[in-house]
A and B are shown apart, each in its own frame.
Chain A
């Protein structure tokens, strides 16, 4: 963020945008010069360095660019006061002396006063002169200057220009593709209000403040500016703001696709990953339920408000969200449930009873989409799955009834078909009876003609009790995924002796 007078803008029609540095060679060399000035000025006074900046302003013409870059570099530097004695003591010794003996009218009189004060302080007159105002800003000495590349500095400058323009904004709308939790934390922290709507698959969030209702106000401009870096972490993003400048309301649009290269490449911030939640995700996956699980998914609309769930479970076209509530009070939970009353997707609120801040009283949600799940300590994986299963069942039924398969291969596994048709294996299993050319055996569909051949081959080999491996060997040419299951499915009796198939035997079907 920069002082307003360092902001230059370009305007066309009702649009406005800061005059960004396009990272041109000329700008890069200006940035280089500014960085060099500071890095070579370690030990110099702030006031002197600023004079150097003024010279660069003249040299590069664009004084706002140079001064803005210098302000950013200076902010990252550390300065310290270099005095031989406490400046406060030194100057008050001088003031005392002068008030007592009369103010000096000539340089000679002044020197005499300084000399006397110096000897009382045990300093030389030179040291007194140097220390007198050593604590002033402009007298502070540059101690260290961090290294930054000219291009990075220019990108940081562009971000600062954006924020400076947004100081005059009255409202802002944005979309992003991640980092939601941090974005909304910033929105709340800076006292902003939002309303959200889903359009064309993206969540559009409008930000302004409580009093924006009454009149156009720049009051929330600073807060809006502070949210921008968080939005930029959720690429791709788009920002659109109304800027109030000289009594005119202008539009400011920025898109990561077009303008992202002008700004620092901010990564989504690594969220604090609670081990409870991470363990839950791992355990859930290990169940292999057919449901996918994703941490920190996109926000969910709840009327004009936004919920940012901790998990999204996906099964086919179904999505169920879940938020895990840590420490809570009844009032907090009530508000949460109220907020969810307009949610249109199924939403599980998992509440840890052990983290209740007051005596527990279970709440019920009025919205049938919302399910409150109480637990103690660990998020119960099986109970969560139990909440999901009815939805999976309905989804499978819907998939199966809509599924029409034309199977070309003589042998096709459920897995292959599920992938080919984009449905669950269970749906394929249920729809298998509709395939007239094939028969479902175990986890695969087998062509009827092929099955006849298999039957004949088995009848050849199994004429009385024979070792199972022999029968399996005989079926090898047919490329069945699970020959033992096929053998059993055709009525042959398999007798196991221990777990090893080597020791098992198989007998022909009983004649009835």
Chain B
């Protein structure tokens, strides 16, 4: 009885005369093979069954010395403790600005295991690299955004993790997935399957996904081990905020054009007795539009109508008014990049989109922090996890209707500052489809996953 475990391209190869759980016979190599994420369970099984084995799976990069200690707030301490008790697996849900990063840093410090950190944006790559340097004296490697430098601790975008999973999958013992709800997108969850890391930590403010794929958490990273929402943290650790919904009217020309275009769209639906009950129905219409010129015209008309509602001149006037009213630091959100640049040109406000290069993004944020810039207009890149210092006012000019986006956009503003109340304006065009989007944004968060699940 003997088994030799080795790693190959996101899988574990099991050579020997013992069959193990998860292993499947691979005729191509004449050996058993298992997905890499089962590594922990396979080793546990072999140990439990007292089967002698040789383990050649992990190949961590050399460990540098660590300098520094991570101090946690009591609630962060509690979260970390529960994660440890769960065997070093699981998801920690803490509201935006609750300092999730520090819990991850603590895990690196306490476990001293080679670590890969998945993050959704290049901005977050930078932020983690800075924090690792600051708190643990670690020079982290980076994979993503044109860099490919693998070190004992490596920060990696989800995209790069997906692309390079075969090559990176056995280099790390601890996997930290920041904004872990991304991990459950079909492609990214495959990346999680191709990594062998036995210790796994997910960090997020909300695990919920509309497609319910967050139910995969127990298999891929572990269930929820700790959860603290806004209510628990508000006032004590993060600032309070006030949400003001503002309705504006389309200009008469916009209204006419909107009605005309919406009519084209509704007309098509009625002629063909189609009902739009959800995203699925709409996808079908899109498919239809590839063959049917009339359907395409309807879709285009709908898109133009929505654009009018989302980008209404009335919203621009509201924005101009607010900007004139007070000089407090303001973040402006819109859905479309084209509108970001239009606002940037019209009001001479710095813009950040996914196209903004690294140095410029850094420049804008640092000038905003120092108060030299009083506003930033952005599409989506600031949505997640990124520290934007003490903005006290937010203006949502359009949104996609996802509850997560709203929560995270709120989070942007919730930086702890002395006795501050942040205000979030949500600007909605009256009597248009935009109202639905706003309603959707306020939909409650549901579908929780427990550690036991």
Contact = CB atoms under 8 A, between A and B. Distances in A.
Which range holds the interface residue count of chain B? 35 or more
A137 B357 CA distance: 12
A304 B360 contact: no
A126 interface: no
A137 B337 CA distance: 12
B35 interface: yes
A110 interface: yes
B190 A191 contact: no
A239 B269 CA distance: 41
Contacts of B341: 133, 136
A132 B293 CA distance: 39
B50 interface: no
A95 B350 CA distance: 6
A102 B323 CA distance: 8
Contacts of A61: 293
Q: Which of B10, B28, B324, B348 has the most CB of A within 10 A?
A: B348
A30 interface: no
A210 B350 contact: no
B355 A103 contact: no
A88 interface: yes
Contacts of A96: 372-373
B86 interface: no
B272 interface: no
Interface stretch (A155-163, A213-221, A372-380): A213-221
Nearest to B29: A193
Contacts of A98: 347-349
A114 B345 CA distance: 10
Given A99-B373, A211-B35, A214-B24, A191 B345 contact: no
A92 interface: yes
A495 interface: no
Interface in B311-353: 320-321, 323-324, 327, 341, 344-350
Contacts of A193: 28
A447 B69 CA distance: 106
B348 A95 contact: yes
Nearest to B33: A213
B26 interface: yes
Nearest to A137: B355
B9 interface: yes
Given A133-B341, A195-B28, A214-B35, A103 B11 contact: no
Contact of A110 (B8, B193, B346): B346
Given A102-B324, A304-B28, A92 B350 contact: yes
A405 interface: no
A191 B166 contact: yes
A211 B293 contact: no
Contacts of B193: 211
A8 interface: yes
B296 interface: yes
Interface in B1-57: 8-11, 24, 26-28, 33-35
Interface string A294-317: 000000000010000000000000
B363 interface: yes
Contacts of B347: 98, 103-104, 110
Interface in A224-243: none
Interface in A140-159: none
Contacts of A113: 348
Nearest to A97: B348
A209 B9 contact: yes
Contacts of A102: 323-324, 327
B375 A99 contact: yes
Q: Which of A97, A103, A113, A137 has the most CB of B within 10 A?
A: A103
B374 interface: yes
A8 B288 CA distance: 11
Given A105-B324, A193-B28, A304-B27, A210 B349 contact: no
Interface of A: 8, 61, 63-64, 88, 91-92, 94-99, 102-105, 110, 113-114, 132-133, 136-137, 191, 193-195, 209-211, 213-214, 217, 219, 304
8 contacts: A8-B290, A91-B350, A96-B373, A103-B320, A103-B348, A114-B348, A213-B24, A213-B26
Given A137-B355, A195-B28, A214-B34, 5 more contacts: A95-B350, A95-B373, A99-B375, A103-B320, A103-B349
- When A and B form their complex, which 7 residue pairs have the shortest distance between CB atoms, in order from nearest? A98-B348, A103-B323, A210-B9, A105-B320, A103-B347, A210-B11, A95-B350
